[in-house]
């Protein structure tokens, strides 16, 4: 099956840039907003690029949350200023801070037969094109020793800078990427390793990633391209293909709806 081009899937995409809204609120709210936007995409048939950051959070995968001492490790994270949460998409533990860009590509499902591999590839296409002005050699594939390993890890010169996960609903789906943009990637890898050192005591090694500090780097370290430059390039790539749709075309949920959905997600995914 031929992979759809950016020109095909970004032609009606709306950009929702919340990267400057960085209050230290519950990190689950951004995932809750994605969930609600996904539900609305099924109705509106609009596709969305949601860009966001969080000042200091630690997002666990569901397997992480089942590790023997996950609760104690989450308490430790809280004690050093990180807000822990369990996400509703795939993947493993990821630290968030203002140097990590979160991209959510949200699409209505127009054909049930569409390959989920193509869904992931939309994100890798977009990020590759955003980096093309400064680099063209981006590798895609699971990267040994990195945190949140997956088949669609993105790396440059043998160092991972991006991981991708997916969340599917009945009539829409969301592909989510975290992009390490600023400061040291090794510091984030060290934090994840310390989490597993505490959470995985007594667990078999195959039940959690074995994280190496030297596996991860930021775009700033790799390419001299920091947070704002990357966000600008992502938006320019989409605008090169999209029509004149604006956020006014979206029906955004209000704060009460987002808070209520965040509570529902937390009750569903943080129940041991």
Q: Is residue 120 part of a domain?
A: yes
Q: Which two tokens stand for residue 196?
A: 């597993």
Q: Which two tokens stand for residue 180?
A: 């390490």
Q: Is residue 32 part of a domain?
A: yes
Give the per-residue pLDDT at 3.
Answer: 64
Rounded to whole angstroms, what are the CA distances from 66 to 86, 137, 207?
10, 37, 10
Kindly report the CATH number assigned to the domain that includes residue 38. 3.30.930.10
Structural domain boundaries enclosing 125:
6-269
Active site residues: 148
Q: What pTM value is reported for the model?
A: 0.92
- Number of structural domains in the chain: 1
Q: What's the chain's Rg over C-alpha atoms?
A: 18
Q: Is residue 28 part of a domain?
A: yes
Q: Is residue 177 part of a domain?
A: yes
Q: Is residue 162 part of a domain?
A: yes
Q: Is residue 1 part of a domain?
A: no
Q: Is residue 225 part of a domain?
A: yes
pLDDT digits (tens, 9 = 90+) for 148-185: 999 999 999 999 999 999 888 888 899 999 999 999 99
Which one, of 47, 51, 49, 59, lies nearest residue 18 by Cα? 51
Dihedral sign, CA of 114, 43, 106, 122?
A: positive
Q: Which two tokens stand for residue 241?
A: 């293909």
pLDDT digits (tens, 9 = 90+) for 185-242: 999 999 999 999 999 999 999 999 999 999 999 999 999 999 999 999 999 999 998 8
């Amino acid at each position: 099956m031929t992979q759809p081009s950016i020109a095909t899937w970004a032609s009606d995409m709306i950009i929702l840039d919340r990267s400057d809204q960085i209050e230290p609120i519950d990190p689950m709210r951004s995932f809750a907003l994605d969930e609600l936007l996904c539900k609305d995409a099924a109705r509106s048939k609009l596709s969305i690029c949601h860009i966001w950051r969080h000042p200091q959070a630690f997002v666990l995968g569901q397997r992480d949350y089942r590790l023997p001492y996950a609760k104690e490790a989450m308490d430790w994270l809280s004690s050093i200023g990180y807000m822990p949460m369990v996400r509703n998409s795939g993947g493993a533990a990821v630290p968030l801070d203002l140097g990590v860009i979160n991209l959510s590509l949200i699409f209505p499902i127009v054909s049930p037969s569409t390959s989920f591999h193509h869904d992931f590839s939309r994100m890798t296409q977009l990020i590759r094109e955003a980096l093309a002005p400064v680099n063209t050699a981006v590798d895609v594939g699971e990267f040994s020793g990195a945190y949140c390993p997956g088949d669609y890890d993105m790396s440059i010169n043998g160092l991972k800078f991006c991981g991708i996960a997916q969340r599917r609903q009945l009539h829409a789906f969301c592909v989510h990427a975290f992009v390490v943009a600023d400061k040291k990637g090794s510091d984030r890898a060290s934090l994840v390793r310390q989490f597993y050192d505490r959470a995985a005591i007594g667990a078999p090694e195959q039940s959690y990633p074995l994280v190496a500090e030297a596996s991860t780097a930021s775009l700033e370290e790799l390419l001299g391209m920091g947070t704002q430059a990357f966000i600008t390039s992502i938006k320019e790539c989409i605008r090169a293909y999209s029509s004149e749709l604006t956020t006014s075309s979206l029906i955004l949920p209000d704060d009460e709806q987002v808070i209520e959905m965040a509570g529902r997600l937390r009750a569903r995914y943080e129940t041991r």
